Structure 1
């Protein structure tokens, strides 16, 4: 069945970390909009990064909910999928917070998964 033959359900994404790589994910996800993808939220403590992402999302006509940290985004339960695009040394803590959160999320983690083998095994 061709994608034009059926209605696609919406998959809501949140991006944690909207520096250069996070904004690249925002652009890439925009290219999947015809497949039911929409970015609905971002989390980043760095206000200039938030603003760059908001400007980019506005050019796509995607309104974003902005959070200063990943925990607030998790607790909002707005998303189905989370993209972790934060500095490498923060991946483990954020990933563990996601795994231990009562809501189950699908997750894409930028490489490296973690910066220590023990954290990867955990």
Structure 2
């Protein structure tokens, strides 16, 4: 299996960022996400920001693509802006990754150009942990 470096994954995420203004001053595709699965496949996604809370994060887009490909376990994930700034996933995305597969608590989340943490560290109390 080919190993993808953090910088390569960051560059893949950045490659899909193509901001476009849409209705009501919102912007789509201003954040890109790249993830690599435990099988070594890479999936990409972009953010869609719209009015009425109908949009979604780049991580959701990439994860949906991964699920479409029949995979559920994320080995490593990153989201970036057009300038390459790395963004940690929001709380909704953190929980979303966990809800897709509880093994994703061991996902390496790139939160800075030279900083990686496990999803478990970003989501210490999963929503259904005590049910």
Higher helix share: 1
- TM-score, normalised to structure 1, is 0.37
